[in-house]
Every structure is written in C-alpha cells, then in structure tokens.
Amino acid sequence: MDSGMMITSKQDDDGDEAQTGMSGGGRIVAVSNRVGPIRGAARAGGLAVALIEALRQSRGLWFGWSGKTAVSEGSTQVESAGSFEVATIDLTPSEHEDYYNGFANRCLWPLFHYRIDLTTYDRHFYEGYQRVNVRFARALQPLLREDDRVWVHDYHLISCGQSLRDMGCKQSMGFFLHIPFPSREVVLTLPHHEKLIQSLFAYDLIGFQTERDRERFFDYAVNELEGVEQRGDTLYVHGRKVRVEAFPIGIDAAGYADFVYSEDGQRQWMRARNALRGRTQVIGVDRMDYTKGLPERLAAFERLLADYPDTRGRVEYLQIAPPTREGVPEYAELKQRLELAASQINGRYGEVDWTPLRYLNRTLSRRALAGLYRASRIGLVTPLRDGMNLIAKEYVAAQDPQDPGVLVLSRFAGAAAQMKAALIVNPYDTVGVAEAMQTARYMGLEERRQRHAELMQGLLDEDISHWREDFVRELRLATDKRKAA
C-alpha cells in the first residue's frame, strides 16, 4: 500500500474477518462522488439506502470524496462502518473547482439535461475532471481485492473505470448513470466527447435509468464510435465488449409508507389538514434546480386559477424548493424568479383568508414530507428533464389507499415510463398541466383507487432492493461472460 495511506483495521460484527459476498463473488466496492450519509441513511433515502444494504451483505467498501477540501492531497482515510468499510479522500480547492463545480456541474449536468444554453465548455475544467478521476482510481486501487466487484456511480466519475484499467485492475466493474443520457446531437456539442464516452467501455456493465437512455447511448456508440450491437444488449467498441441495460431505480415503498405514521409525519399531516380547512392542496417538492421546471409549474398553477374560477379560495399550492449549489449565478437567478412569481400570484389572486401559493425555500425531513404528501390531493411533479424522480414515487407511497391523491407527472421524468397510471403531462404546456390538475380535483374515488393501486404495485415490484440486486446480478453475469470469452 502507499505509504501516504492510513488504513484502520476492521472486523465484521461477529469479530471475524469480513469475507462473504452478496449473490456470490467478493465484496461490493461502491464508488461515488460523495460518501454517506451512513448514520441516518433511511432519512436520507435514495442511493444511500441501496448501497449500504449491498455493502453490509458483501462486507464491502464505500469509496469517495469526504466533502472536505485541503491544501494538499493528503492520505486516504479508511474507517469501519460496522459490517463494511468507508474510505474517503479530500480534494484540493482547485480540484473541487475544476472537477466538481466546473466540469461535473457546469458542463455535464446541464448538458445531460439538454440545457446546452447553460453548458460551460471549458477545456480546463475537463482536464481537472480527468485528473480527479485518475486520483480517485489511484487512491482506490491499493484497497481492491482480486474478487471485488466495483460499482461506480454517476456523471462525476465516468472516467474512473478507465483509469483503474490503465493501472492494471482486472476486477469486475459496473457503472450506473443516475441522470439522463442525452441524444447524440447534444453529446456531440461536448469537446472530447469521444474520449469521455469511450471510457465507459472500460466497464463490464453500464446501467441507465430508462430504455430511452439506453437507446440513446446505443445510437451514439454505433454512429460515433463505430460500435457493433450484439444481441440487443451488448456493444462491441474498439476491442472492448460491454453489456448495457436499463435499471430503473426505486424506493423502499413499504418503508416510506410507514413514514406517514412517524411523529414528524403525523405532526405535518395534522398541521396541514387544520390549515387547509377542507381546501385541496397541491404539492411540489424539488431541489432549486433549473431542470425541475419550477417557473413553468408556477405558471401552470396561475393558469389553473385564471381558467377555473371555482379553484379560487378552494385550492392551495405548496411548493417546497430547498436551496442547492448556492453561489452559482443560474441558481440565484432561478430563486429570484420563483420568489417574484409567487409574490405576483398571491398579489393577483389572494384574499384576506386565503393565500393561493405557499413557497418554502428550505429542507424538510422525509418523514415530515410524507405527512404533507398524505395531506395533498394532488402531487405535481413536472421536471423539464429528469433521470428518474423519486419524489413522484414517494408521493404515491405516502397516500391513503382508501382515499388517495392523484399524481400529475411530466412525460420527461424517467419515472413516467413506469408510472403510466399517473396523469402524464407536457411540462412546457401550462394549459395542459392546469387541465390535468383540474381533472385530478374532480376525479372520482374509484378511479383514484384504481390508479393508486396500479402505481403502488409497481413501486413494490420494482423497489430499491430490486434495483440493487438486479444490477449486482447482471454485473456478475456480464463479468463471467467476459472471462469466458
């Protein structure tokens, strides 16, 4: 091991060395931009819940950035987290600026969400991104065992697998992209797109959220990298073969439904019911991000009030939009737009005893949100582009099956492919979104129950455990086929 690496010894919960695997094979080694949270993972939800269970079952390792910056690179910190290990590195301020703020979030994030107008094409950022991907690989490589299965996550670390291969790593490796993969024409606007996308072929398995994402990747690989498609699920590019599949991520639907009955859930449910006094609540919950379609959504709500006078005094819209990436000009501008739009709607339509729109720019716990979802007759989830969108799934999971609310969902959210019983809308069509909200208001109980039952069954059938186990199983199969070839 490198002399600059600090390793703490670890034993599993029974005091024996960790050596068992999940679904056969060795450890799961999860690699992501940030590690954690470990404590309170259930409250955080999403990826943390899925990865921690896989790591526990395989006595694995979670590797990533500590979230801290330091003047120099420093050492790798390895700590015990019960039945698995956590390894982290710090980034220097320049690495954080070029890799994270720069290429990842000012280039790849907008580009992959089709916002070419907001994409910063800076080769200096790209070089910094590549350097950090190499650094991740250099810090991780000494920690790997021969039979490990490495699972790299998201757009921050596309090149990490290639860097590991360049260092001689032969372990099984898979990559999962949590955000959309854009059309070929959009990818082509990125300088060095060939090198970046070709680096994905270092993996044995590539996973996308939807079949559409998978199809767009195939289109790019075949037409730009001279790839050859085999059997519909495999691509052969420049001597390297990779399996490519769709793995729609889910939630712990049964567990989230229980959040409604938690202390926070019940408190928020009661507060909302008492404040509404029989009015219909529409709810939206989104990070403050230009991909979420928040200005368009507020415009659709204003259209609802304008076109359907019976909503006035009877419908309230609660938009929760926690801040994100503060200090970035595009996000500051978005916040100002939303505050102005909310003020104008309330000024135009509000009454002494009725505020049509309530806007909260802060974070609430998942348990508190579960109570607010239960109190809301309409869930409004209308991103302009989203890899999946788990808010849509959490809204459905929180509903009362005997008297459920209605989900209004953007066709451009990955979740729309699975959640066909929602009211599917075009978020750019404010009139259409307003019509869908009005339809949801008057939808009969039996139809609401039928739609909810279909949606909930889908959440249970393809929950977070299914996603995790499906990917790990397919990674093992893809690696076995590579070794047998």
Q: Which of 286, 386, 452, 463 is catalytic?
A: 386
In the chain, the amino acid numbered 228 is: V
CA atoms lying within 13 Å on the CB side of residue 99: 24
Q: Which of 96, 153, 178, 452 is catalytic?
A: 178
- The residue length of the chain stands at 485
Give the position of tokens 């979104």. 433
User: What string of DSSP letters covers 68-87?
Assistant: EE-SS----EEEE-SSSEEE
Task: Based on the residue annotation, tell me whether 386 is a catalytic residue of this protein.
Answer: yes
Cα–Cα distance between 202 and 103 in angstroms, integer? 21
Cα–Cα distance between 370 and 390 in angstroms, integer? 13
Strands 77-80 and 85-91: antiparallel
Beta bridge partners, 236, equal 228, 241
State the Cα angle at 407 between 267 and 424, rounded to 5°.
Answer: 160
> Nearest 5°: phi and psi at 380?
-110, 105
Cα–Cα distance between 39 and 339 in angstroms, integer? 34
Three-state DSSP at 368 gives helix
Region class of 236: left (phi > 0), else alpha (psi between -120 and 50), else beta: beta
> Nearest 5°: phi and psi at 221?
-60, -40
First to last CA, the chain: 32
Three-state DSSP at 11 gives coil
- Count of Cβ atoms closer than 10 Å to residue 79 Cβ: 13
Scored b (16 or more CB within 10 A) or e, 261-299 reads ebebbbebbeebeeebeeebbbbbbbbbbbbbbbebbbb
Beta bridge partners, 410, equal 425
> Nearest 5°: phi and psi at 341?
-65, -40
Catalytic residue numbers, as ranges: 178, 386
